[in-house]
Structures are given as C-alpha cells and as structure tokens.
Amino acid sequence: MTAIKHALQRDIFTPNDERLLSIVNVCKAGKKKKNCFLCATVTTERPVQVKMVKVKKSDKGDFYKRQIAWALRDLAVVDAKDAIKENPEFDLHFEKIYKWVASSTAEKNAFISCIWKLNQRYLRKKIDFVNVSSQLLEESVPSGENQSVTGGDEEVVDVYQELNAREEQDIEIMMEGCECAISNAEAFAERLSRELQVLDGANIQSIMASEKQVNILMKLLDEALKEVDQIELKLSSYEEMLQSVKEQMDQISESNHLIHLSNTNNVKLLSEIEFLVNHMDLAKGHIKALQEGDLASSRGIEACTNAADALLQCMNVALRPGHDMLLAVKQQQQRFSDLREHFARRLASHLNNVFVQQGHDQSSTLAQHSVELALPNHHPFHRDLLRYAKLMEWLKSTDYGKYEGLTKNYMDYLSRLYEREIKDFFEVAKIKMTGTTKESKKFATLPRKESAVKQETESLHGSSGKLTGSTSSLNKLSVQSSGNRRSQSSSLLDMGNMSASDLDVADRTKFDKIFEQVLSELEPLCLAEQDFISKFFKLQQHQSMPGTMTEAEDVDGGTLSRQHNAGAPLPVSSEKDMIRQMMIKIFRCIEPELNNLIALGDKIDSFNSLYMLVKMSHHVWTAQNVDPASFLSTTLGNVLVTVKRNFDKCISNQIRQMEEVKISKKSKVGILPFVAEFEEFAGLAESIFKNAERRGDLDKAYTKLIRGVFVNVEKVANESQKTPRDVVMMENFHHIFATLSRLKISCLEAEKKEAKQKYTDHLQSYVIYSLGQPLEKLNHFFEGVEARVAQGIREEEVSYQLAFNKQELRKVIKEYPGKEVKKGLDNLYKKVDKHLCEEENLLQVVWHSMQDEFIRQYKHFEGLIARCYPGSGVTMEFTIQDILDYCSSIAQSH
C-alpha cells in the first residue's frame, strides 16, 4: 500500500501541487467489484484546500488516472455503518450518497480518522460522523492544543517532506560559499557547526550587555506605579464627591418623572371628558323635539328626524374601555333609552292614527270610482307617509318590535282598504263585460234557468255580425243550414258557454279592451305600492346579496317573519321576502278576483281565453323583466296558468264537440259545423296572436285541432247515408284547404298540402263513381274486344270474331244516339246537384271534371274502333263537340 501511495503522490498529486495524506482501497456496494482508491489530499499553497479524490487504474495500461474530485467542505455526513462490530462498509454524503466497501476495516478506520483530523483543523468541525467508534476519534486527538495545531502535519505526513522553493534557494547560496560543500560533506557540516557556535556566543554576550538597561527600565516602572497609586487616591476622592451629586440628581429625575406622569394623566382625563361630552351630550332642542315635537307638520317631522338621528348617534357611540363603568355614563345612557322609548311610542301611535285616517278618507272616494273602470289613486297618501321614511328607518334600527307592529298594522288597514277597492273595481269590470247594471242583479232572485237566459240575452244581444271580413261564407252557411246545424251541434252550446260563431266581433273587442284595462289598472297600483313599501319601510327590493332567507309564517295570522334577534336588521334576501309577504297580504284578493273575472270571460265566450292568454302573457313578460321575483310577476304568473288551462280546455272542448257531432240521415251533409268553427277559430286566433309572445301555444293548439278535424271529417263521411262519402270528404277538405291558404298559417303547411291532396283524390273518386258507364253496352262490347287482344289475337283480326264483327258494333252504336246521351247527362247533372251543397259552390267544378272524364272515355272508344276495325267506316252517332254542347246547355238550363 505504501508503494501505491508513493506512486500516486508522484504521478497524480505532485504535478497538481497536492499532498496525499490518506488512501483506502474501495469498491461500490452491491455492484461488480471494480476496485478504486479514495484519496484525502491538501494543497501545498495557501489557502489550503482539502479534497477527496477518486483514482482508478486505467484499463489500457499499468497507470492510474484521476476520475472524480470532491471538496471536503461539500461532505455533510460520514456514516461508518456500525460503531461496535467490524464492518468494511461506509457512506459518504455529498450532493448525493456514495456507498463504499473498503478492502479492510483497518483501512476504513484509518481513512475516517484522517478525515476527522482534517475536519478538526480546516473545516471547524462541519462534518457529522455517524456510527463511528468514539475510541477511534479519541485516539486521533493530540495531547496538547498546540500539538493539535502545529504537530498535526508530522503525524499525518509520516517521514516524507519535500523542501519548498525558499529553502532550496537558501541551501544553494550556502553551498556556493563553501567549495567543499559537495565534495566533502563532513567538512561542510563541521564548518556549519563552528559558525553556529560563534552565533550562539554572540547572542549570549548581547543578552548580558543589555542587563543595565533592563535595571533602568525596572526603576522607571516602579516610579510609574507610584504615580498610578496617587492618581487612584485622587479618583477615589472625586468619586465620593460625585456620589452625593448623583443621589441628588436621581431625586430630581424622579420628581420630574412624577410631574410628567401627572401632566400626562391630566391630558388623558381631559381628552376622555371631552370625548364623552362631545359624543354623549344631546342638545336641549333635540330633547324637546323628541318629547313634544309636532309629527303632523313638515317642520316638526324634520326636527324630530334630526333629533332622532342625533339620539341614535349618541346611543351608538363606541365607548372606550372603562366608560361603561362610570356612573354619569350609565345615567346618560338610561336617559337616552327613556327618550328612545318615549319617542318610539309617540311615533308608532301617530303613524297608526295616520293609517286609520287614510282608510276612512280613501273609503269616501270609492263612490267616485264605482261607475268608472279605474282604481283610486294612492299617490297623495304615499306622498304624505314618505315624509316619515327616515323616522321609520330610525325606528327599524332602534326598536324593531314597534317597527314590526307598525308593519303589521299597515298591512291590516291597507289590506281591508284595497280589498274593498279591488272588489268594487272588478264588480264594475264584470258589469261592463256582461252589459248588465247593478239593478240587473235582481235576476238572481228569478229561477235559475230563467235568470241565466235573461243574463245571456242581455250580454250576448246583437251577435249576428261577421267574425272577420273573410268569413262571409260562414254566414251563408249558418243561414242555409241553420236547421241542420242546430240539431247537429246542440251539444256544442249551453247556457253558460255560447259558441264563438254566435258572438259579434264588437263584443269580443269590448271584452279585450276591458280585460286589458283591468290589467293596466292593477299593474301600476301594485308597482306603486311595492315601491312605497320599499321606500317607507326601508326594505331593499332590487339588490341581490347572498344570505339565508328568514322563515316566513302565515301572513294572515301571526307576525310577518321570525326574527332571531328583534333588534337586528334583516339581511337583503329576507327584506325582499318581507316585501313579497307584505304585498301578498295587502293584495290577497287580486288573484281570486282575477280568476273569477277569467271564469266569467270564459263563460261568456270560450274564445275569450285567446284574448286573455295574449294579454296576460304580455303583462307577465313585462313584470318579469322588471323583477322576476316580485309579487306582481308571481301573481300574474299564477293567473296565467289558469288562463292557459282555460285555453287548453277550450281546445279540448272543441275536439270533444267534433267527436260528438251527429248528422241528419234525411238531409245532405254539406260543410260540417266543426270545419266552419275551425275556420272561425283560426281567423280569430290569427288576428289575436299577431306578434304575441306565446305563439307556440297556438301552434300546438292548431296541430291538435286540425288532426281532430281530419279524423272527424272522415268519421262523419263514413257514417253519412244521404250524401256520398266522397262528396263529404271533397267539400270539407276543399273548405279546409281554402281556409289554410287564405290564413297562411306556417305551422300547418303540411296539413294544407294533405287537405288539397284529399280534396283532389275524392273529387276524382266521386267523378268516376257518379259518371259510371254512360254508354254501358258499348263499354261492355269494347271490354270484350280488349279481352280478345289480351288473349293474343291481333287487333285488326278482332273483327273476324263472330261476337265482335262489324255488324255487332253497328248494332251497339245505334243504341246510343245523341238524344239518349244528352238525356243521360241531364239526369247525371241533377243527381250531382242533389249531392253537393251550395256553400262550397263546387257544382261547376265537378261537372267540368265529369265532362273531361266522359270525353276521355269517348276518345278511348274511338281509338279502339280505329285500331280493331280499320277502314270499316263505323263511327259514333255523336261527336266530342256534341258532348261539349250537351254539357254546356245542361249547365245553363239549371
């Protein structure tokens, strides 16, 4: 190992000005054993740098190379694994942990001991040694402190030490001065010894010569010590004199401190007194206003408001610690509480009187509005009460119990007042809708049926006008087939709900205007009252803030809302809920009255639900844009549900009435009642729902109705005995197609095409069925000809068949002269005229189609004669022109 150490020193560390102090042969733990050396080195130049170097033998030759170097100051921990048992493994913690296995435990211990010494000398014990035997570290400690510093190198370096450059230079100069330094080393050593003796003697003589000077110096030091003793005596006397002065100065300083402390306390006391006087002193004028102020005049209200604000500021002043223990403060607070209680009672009593007086004053004005469809204006009352808004805010923050009591009293008085006004208002609206007067209520004493008849007579008189300008055909229909229709649709009409065709447009327009006026009067009334409640009772209605809503009790009995702290202000969400609850109680009669009015309108005319649906939807949409959670929006939304239910019921009733229609067995059917009623409904709905918000509801109703019309038209056609099925289908689907084409309803485009197709198909079917075979024998003859051709006989050879020769053809043709043909067509025209109704005016259309079908058959026969009997000269005894003349003359004669 010594040879390897010298080789490493020579080859690797000497060129880098480093000295090798310790070496250990190691390999990495847990891997293939590739041996290498860990070396502890120091630099020869100052400042000394201590390093740990990994050296490995080269694979290509028998020499060593430097692989990795770490600064010893980067070493954090040396872990020897086991301090008791011999274990060659150890870990070195640099930036990461390196695990090594030494070739022997002795080498590991020597290497760790060297690192410990270097740590003690150069690194000031920065490295932590873990699992290292204390005995090993104690053996490494030198006997003296000086030895640990100066003598450490000899133990570490062993016997080898090179000369530095300075030492080499001095030796060279000395050797140059002696010629025999190299040739005779003994002579050179003796010369050096003699010179050393000469120098020692000179040193001894120099020391002995300086003894006199030392004695003189000692005398001077003794004199100096005597002078120092004298100075110390004087300083002691001075210190004794200053001690009395210090005691006097301490007394003066303590006195000044007490004076300063007294002044500070006086200043603080004055500040506290000024604070209490400034913040807890209420002016006499404010006290007088609170006790005796006039709450009826504007000046008195303003003075009371200012006094209440000043009182609130005095009561809410933030007292400093200890103030509440002062007797004067307690007395002043009690005085403020008494003033607050007294003024709160006076204010609550006055406002209750104002509420009661308002109820009496407003009742006197109800008679003025009893004949007009208008609600009384509450703006003057609101304007007068808003003068107390700031006082209500004060009462809310100081005495929530009285504030809540006022709120309840206001709701009680105003709910009764509004109930009277709204009921009278709706009574006027009902009178105007039905066209009756208050005196007509005597009909209620008549028998039930007679009273209903009289009321309907008065409310529905003059209803013979048209629905729209484009429904004149309906009026004709109602005149021509009124006898049949009344018997067929008796189930559609009752005493409480007249058919839409029996009402005049003017009556519906009148109802629409009255209903719109009712909603237009209610809406500003509710909004004005809600705005007043928000301002007067200081409740926020628009701002939305997170918070838990208070549990609302029943507004008709008990308090408005449960409060966990009677003096605590409500959160914003609870204030919004409180506004809504107050509005519900004040206007609790609006929703029932609206529902009654809607029921009356629906009873007068079921089609009024269309008007109400459009108007109510518009008002709900407007209210929700302002405040979706407001009382008005919620109430109108609830009523809208009722209106929509009535609308759906109207549609369902129409479909049910379609299904219940019965036709007469003795008279022709014509246009079915529910087809005409659908036309009336569609025309009315299109005029009402133009640009409406709820067009989707109408489109759904259209789809249900048209499907019901289609199904029941076919049902009635199948049941018809007097009128052919094709005629019923043709006429009614033609009427439906005409209605849909005129109204241009976008959602029924598919149904319009279907109606047109059904009309065309049944027209063609009826023409073929009615026309039949006007030339019956001739038709049978040519059917036999076509059968022979179908069997394979050539067309020109058919004339050679005995049953189909030319003589037989002439015999059949002679049976149909022009006179007989005209007679048959005339009978056919009369038959068709009996089948068709006059409302649709389809006779000429059907007759023209029959003429075309007859001409088509004629041309078919002519073609067969030309192909099967060529050159025979056989022709029909009438021509196409004759057919046209026959048909034209027959149509003109009828």
Is residue 660 within 8 A of residue 674, CB to CB? The reply is no
Instruction: Please give the helix or strand (H or E) that residue 712 lies within, else none.
Output: helix 695-719
Distance of CA 14 to the CA centre of its chain: 80
Position 349 scores a pLDDT of 92
Q: What band does 293 get if pLDDT is binned at 50, 70 and 90?
A: confident
* 13 has pLDDT over 80: yes
Contact 428, 373 (CB under 8 A): yes
Q: Which residue has the higher pLDDT, 212 or 55?
A: 55
pTM: 0.53
Domains of the chain: 1-136 (2.30.29.90), 363-436+510-540+573-607 (no CATH), 775-893 (no CATH)
Instruction: Look at residue 382 and tell me whether its pLDDT is greater than 60.
Output: yes
Residue 171 has pLDDT above 70, yes or no: yes
Residue 348 phi/psi, 5-degree rounding, is -65, -40
- Picking from 379, 386, 416, the residue whose alpha carbon sits closest to that of residue 585 is 416
DSSP three-state, residue 98: strand
Rounded to the nearest integer, the mean pLDDT of the chain is 78
Cβ neighbours of 496 (radius 10 Å): 12
- Environment class of residue 705 by beta-carbon count within 10 Å: exposed (0-12), middle (13-18) or buried (19+)? buried
Q: What is the DSSP letter of 605?
A: B
Nearest CA-CA partner of 49 in 94, 17, 91: 17
Measured CA to CA, the distance from residue 683 to residue 742 in angstroms comes to 9
Strand order in the sheet with 97-102: 64-71, 50-57, 36-43, 18-28, 97-102, 89-93, 77-79, 128-130
Q: Residue 364 — pLDDT band, cuts 50, 70, 90?
A: low
Sign of CA dihedral 584, 589, 590, 595: positive
Which amino acid, residue 203? N
Q: Would you state the pLDDT for residue 462?
A: 32
| DSSP label of 498 | B
Contact present, 837 and 668 (Cβ < 8 Å): yes
Cβ atoms of 540 and 576 closer than 8 Å: yes
Provide Rg for the chain, Cα atoms: 63
| Spatial CB neighbours of 326, under 8 Å, sequence gap ≥ 6 | 276
Q: Which two tokens stand for residue 621?
A: 């949409």
Q: Which two tokens stand for residue 356?
A: 């009661």
Cβ atoms of 304 and 289 closer than 8 Å: yes
Tokens for 105? 């435990």
Residue pair 384/531 in contact by the 8 Å Cβ criterion: no
Residue 693 CB neighbours (<10 A): 14
Contact 301, 388 (CB under 8 A): yes
Q: Return the amino acid letter for 315.
A: M
Q: Which residue has the higher pLDDT, 886 or 100?
A: 100
- Tell me the two tokens of residue 282: 């209420």
pLDDT interval class at 78 (50, 70, 90)? very high
Question: Helix, strand or coil for residue 484?
Answer: helix
Read off the pLDDT band of 77 (50, 70, 90).
very high
| Residues in a beta bridge with 38 | 24, 54
Residues 787-796: tens digit of each pLDDT: 888 888 888 8
User: Which DSSP symbol is given to 179?
Assistant: G
Highest averaged pLDDT of the listed ranges 290-304, 463-477, 758-772:
290-304
